[in-house]
Structure 1
């Protein structure tokens, strides 16, 4: 079997094409708003556009776009492998590129890799790399850069969230660069989703030997770093030697951090910014009524959750965790927090319309059942808990407020503690016993490997579950789509039942932009790709 330019060809002995196998897997989905390029769902070709107004008007070249972010941290750096927030995901996504990317139907397409081919059992992958690509310093991109970039992800102390996903599969000693245009990955186990895993932003390619990302960044992307002040601002400028002819259109992009949600919205509606990262859902009506701005809705793209650390009291008693999850009125949360932009969920980290979503999870509130569990756990008079939140990401504060209200009838008394966006992801996330967090949509194997597996770096519940780990390994071994669906549905039902994460609903991401901005590409892993963006 072979892959040429992202297309999988069926051989007579295969029951499934690789395209069918991988179409349900992704780490980054692209959706074009307004105008620009949308990777074709089936044909693998790009739908060409000049990036103008969507009516055949050619894109205007030049101009500087300003983007406002609230989801940022003073501890950010320029390493794509360590990104966690909207801000650093965005700017690294303009500077660096990966070997692959996925489209809206979860097919894998080439970027720095032009083609890839597995052996018979997917225990070895060979990537043919794009030639003629230059780093921002003028040196050529080669297979040594790709080998270095993947190899560094396999060290646990390095701290990339891709460690838990890649280390069980990729043998560091089996990463080979036999020539400048070829990368070979010899695996520890069969892994049918390697091209998918490498399409995540954390897998973007950096230059061989780079270790210092504090102030400098050398990528192959459409924009080069001009300035960087962590947690405050950054600016990138056009890469005149970009390998994709004629791109980018813009002269540059500037990012500014605005911690207050309403101020961020106004920076686009009536201020100097052209674009803002996801906003509070309650602010959607403000944008809809503005003459010069509009919402960018990316449906089913994200979920907010309440995380409970099951190594710390009172959440080390699973009865308390179950009672809290049971007490949630999910429909009320959907309407109060998300203004109806989404669907209720039974604590499952994939959307309800996903083919892997388990059919036997409940979304019903059960106040009496929650009271009974609390009494059994020694809390007959109810329980007091602290829930941390922040205005860092749209909807996080509103979710905390609504969550506290809907669980109160079960005797769960929630004290809300709002933390500064500047330090929330350093001092609260993965630190406090109970807090609000969020994630973007991923294939079930990818989200479970990164946030629920025993060695997952973002395992917010801190629960180690050998049964889940075994299911994830089994899912990678098979190339049968029905078997994969059964395995991952079991895994998703398991985390919904056992893990301390309450996911009341799946919802849209709501970015806001000026009408004059055209051709931007919404992308789950990186936030937005701007190489075909232009100003009217």
Structure 2
């Protein structure tokens, strides 16, 4: 076995790190609580410590030496109501942020994106990188005091690929190359054939079909987190509700008032509990970015989920020291539904993509340091050789002319306009972008486009069901390697809601997985996407949010935009 010592191995692998979850779908917001409930939350927050007026403390931070607030209650803007907090079912950044606090995988993401140990203390690989062995720490426990064992991971990984569970991230195990995962997802083999086994209570062995050198990075993703079998089987679909849920992370769920707040408290059985400072975490599902900003300015939360684009200039001028711009491997896109005419016509898809003036979007709409995107994969992704598509080298006027030509060729013009709805999830930012792009399509192509917003859960459901023509699409990298973006468009991907499929593209990604130098395969795959345009990339993200000066330990340099509550602390005023 080739032993990768924890920190030496991390150095080799950390350069490839990233997640959402990222895995996740960009800055996804949802519904605001009714006003009466919001007022109640506001009162609770002010009492519990966002402002903490006059709070006294003699306790000091063990590393920085800063005086700590007596009340360690962290109040987080979470953007929306999570669709799920089940590790094997969550598929967006909203739920992912909460799951990252409640659960812990074999590995984690450090403040700068470096690979750090989680439940696993060490790991090693065979010479061919097709067999990985993870040694689990023996003091890892569930919140009910039961030990976390290798069998917990075997159960959850099998659950992730089980067709009866229906995880949108089942394909993640296939991307990781876990033996028999594809056959199991397709219903051709039983889940017990998955290439994962417990050699003993604290040794997990993973067998792969192909060499994967960065598997320790991939197992920091929430799809691979453990789920407590005894609890899942007892409560079934209700196992994540307060009173039922058992988790193995730094926090455990105490309260879930839908549309109002979620509250988590310290898990005293967490192996790293002695190093945790924040005692309670409150998650606020505020999809209205202006309302969220107002709550932040009133001192009712420690950090926002995002920043209202309409107030960016004021914020930069008056509150720039509280504005955090986090490097983020993520892409903002529009997805075309190829099951709906005329979006099965590549000329229509290309015309709409070419007519988007991305420079206007990032300069006048988002205004937060984002950069125009002409590929799905961000250029900064580790090991990815970015080659700018030819269309990106043209002037916008040249792109517009080509868009008009293509749409005319497809039979649409101002006399016979293209008519469709552009769907996005509720957010001031998404609305501003949708309105601007709809206007571009109208002025340049004569298209009649109706921007239509949906509450987050409804948006996810309708999009997954294929009930859209063009929809907003965002992706946070699950890890820092090009496959986390390109596999979105695989024929069997649970995130390929537009149902585009291309056998050559699928083969390129399969070949990349088998190669020690996947970059050439990724380059060709991006060329196919540019030629077929199943999605229209618009810009590469920056993670923007407001962070109170009273909040310490917030990770501002994690390319996965992960900030664990266990690493934060509230300073004394």
The TM-score with structure 2 as length reference comes to 0.80
How far 1:360 moved relative to its partner?
Answer: 3.8
Tell me if 1:206 matches 2:227.
yes
Aligned mates of 1:103, 1:29 — CA distance in 2? 15
- Distance 1:222-1:424 versus aligned 2 partners, 3 A rule: same
Q: Distance in 2 between matches of 1:207 and 1:420?
A: 31
Alignment partners' CA distance in 2, 1:294 and 1:111: 30
Correspondence list, 1:180-329, <5 A: 180-211=201-232, 212=236, 213-215=239-241, 216-244=244-272, 246-289=274-317, 294-329=322-357
Q: 1:434: which partner in 2?
A: 470
CA distance in 2, matches of 1:376, 1:342: 33
Determine the structure 2 residue equivalent to 1:37: none
Q: Where do residues 31-430 of structure 1 align in structure 2 (5 Å cutoff)? A: 56-57=65-66, 59-60=68-69, 62-73=71-82, 76-103=83-110, 107-167=114-174, 169-171=177-179, 172-173=192-193, 174-211=195-232, 212=236, 213-215=239-241, 216-244=244-272, 246-289=274-317, 294-351=322-379, 355-361=383-389, 362-363=391-392, 364=394, 365=396, 366-381=399-414, 382-392=417-427, 395-407=429-441, 408-421=443-456, 423-428=458-463, 430=466
Rate the CA distance shift 1:51–1:110 in 2: closer, same or farther, 3 A.
Answer: farther
Contact between 2:330 and 2:541, CA under 8 Å: does it hold in 1? yes
Quote the offset at 1:347 in angstroms.
Answer: 3.3
Q: 1:300 to 1:186 in 2, by over 3 A?
A: closer
Give the structure with the higher percent helix: 2
More strand by share: 1
Change (3 A) 1:102 1:420: closer
Q: Cα distance 1:209–1:100, how it changes in 2: closer, same or farther (>3 A)?
A: same
Contact 1:66 1:254 in 2 (8 A): yes
**97-106 or 381-390, larger mean C-alpha shift:** 97-106
Q: Aligned with 2:143: secondary structure?
A: coil
- 8 Å CA contact 1:51, 1:519 repeated in 2: no
- Kindly tell me the number of residue pairs found equivalent between the two proteins: 501
Structure 1 contact 300–351 (Cα < 8 Å) conserved? no
Equivalent-residue separation in structure 2 for 1:143 and 1:223 (angstroms): 21
- Whether contact under 8 Å (1:348, 1:357) holds in the other structure is no
C-alpha contact (below 8 Å) 2:383/2:482 kept by paired residues = no
Q: Name the CA shift for 1:494/1:352 in 2 (closer, same or farther; >3 Å).
A: farther
Which runs of 5 or more structure 1 residues have no equivalent in the other structure?
Answer: 9-17, 31-49
Structure 2: runs of 5 or more not aligned: 23-58, 180-191
- Pick which of 483-492 and 21-30 moved more: 21-30
Distance 1:276 1:508, change over 3 A: same
Asked whether 1:498 is paired with 2:490, we answer no
Q: Give deviations 1:439-461, integer Å, cap 9, x for gaps.
A: 21342112222x21111001133
Question: Considering only aligned residues, what root-mean-square deviation do their CA atoms show, in Å?
Answer: 2.8
Rounded Cα–Cα distance in structure 1 between residues aligned with 2:257 and 2:88: 19
* Residue pair 1:345, 1:503 contacting (<8 A) in 2 also: yes
* Aligned-partner Cα distance in 1 for 2:113–2:74: 29
Structure-2 residue corresponding to 1:4: 5
Q: 2:109–2:562: 8 Å Cα contact kept in structure 1?
A: no
Give the whole-Å Cα distance in 1 for the aligned partners of 2:347 and 2:366: 28
Between 219-228 and 348-357, the greater mean CA deviation after superposition:
348-357
Q: Is the 8 A contact 2:413 2:447 kept in 1?
A: no
Deviation at 1:510, TM superposition (A): 0.8
Match of 1:444 among 482, 506, 510: 482
Paired residues of 2:19 and 2:476 also in contact (CA < 8 A):
no
Inter-CA distance 499–6: structure 2 relative to 1 (3 Å threshold): farther
